[in-house]
């Protein structure tokens, strides 16, 4: 005979249990999300407390929410000019993340912009000038904006590396290093990767403060 397992009592079961603000809870509800996925449940408390986080998770696990939720819910102050930079290997992923974070942050006045190559620089510059708080982009174009001064590195308080293993496979490591060199040292870092080869571990060693 098997025993019925006791419900887990040690972790948050709902988004409200995580302490997420009502206006973000509303957005989550509109998106049709009912309960946090494991990666969201485990990452949120660490990220919102300001820690660096390194997460092994694949696409489809809710990883975008895992970094999007803390970004819109508290890591970026409501009225300041602090920004977050999300680096992704492809323009599709950069766009997809920007859209999802925009939905999550819709009631918090957090604008997002996707910046990637092969698209108009002008539109991206306009969105940056208007004060986008979350910048989701591919490394090459982000570097371009940093060099031109159309993106101000000093305001970037949080860095997210999404699909870090893919970015390394695609040869973005030199660009990532250049971007890292331009960013403030006291930023918070969130690193997401489907796999954790030694190249990612060594990148993490360089990247993470805490």
Terminal alpha carbon distance of the chain = 46
Nearer to ligand AMP by C-beta: 151 or 160? 160
Contact residues toward ligand AMP (CB under 6 A) are 33, 36-37, 40, 59-65, 100
**What token pair was written down for 59?**
């696409």
Nearest-angstrom CA–CA distance, 39 and 61: 7
Q: Rounded to 10 degrees, what is the CA torsion of 69, 75, 78, 79?
A: -140
Nearer to ligand AMP by C-beta: 116 or 146? 116
Nearer to ligand AMP by C-beta: 65 or 70? 65
Task: Please state the closest distance from residue 61 (CB atom) to ligand AMP, in A.
Answer: 5
Task: Please state the closest distance from residue 70 (CB atom) to ligand AMP, in A.
Answer: 14
Task: Please state the closest distance from residue 75 (CB atom) to ligand AMP, in A.
Answer: 17
Task: Please state the closest distance from residue 27 (CB atom) to ligand AMP, in A.
Answer: 12
Nearer to ligand AMP by C-beta: 37 or 150? 37
Contacts of 18 (CB under 8 A, 6+ apart): 12, 36, 40, 41, 44, 45, 69
């Amino acid at each position: 005979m098997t025993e019925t397992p006791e419900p887990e009592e040690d972790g948050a079961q709902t988004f409200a249990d995580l302490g997420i603000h009502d206006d973000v809870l509303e957005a989550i509800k509109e998106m049709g999300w009912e309960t946090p996925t494991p990666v969201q449940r485990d990452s949120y408390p660490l990220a919102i407390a300001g820690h660096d986080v390194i997460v092994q998770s694949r696409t489809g696990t809710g990883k975008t929410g895992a970094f999007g939720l803390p970004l819109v819910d508290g890591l970026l102050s409501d009225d300041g000019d602090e920004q977050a930079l999300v680096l992704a290997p492809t323009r599709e992923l950069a766009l997809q993340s920007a859209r999802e974070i925009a939905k999550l942050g819709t009631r918090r006045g957090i604008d997002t912009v996707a910046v990637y190559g092969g698209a108009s620089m002008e539109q991206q510059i306009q969105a940056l000038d208007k004060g986008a708080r979350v910048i989701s982009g591919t490394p090459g174009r982000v570097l371009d904006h940093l060099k031109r001064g159309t993106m101000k590195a000093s305001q970037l308080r949080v860095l997210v590396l999404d699909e870090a293993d893919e970015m390394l496979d695609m040869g973005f490591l030199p660009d990532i290093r250049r971007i890292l060199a331009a960013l403030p040292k006291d930023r918070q870092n969130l690193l997401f990767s489907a796999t954790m080869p030694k190249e990612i571990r060594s990148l993490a060693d360089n990247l993470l403060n805490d």
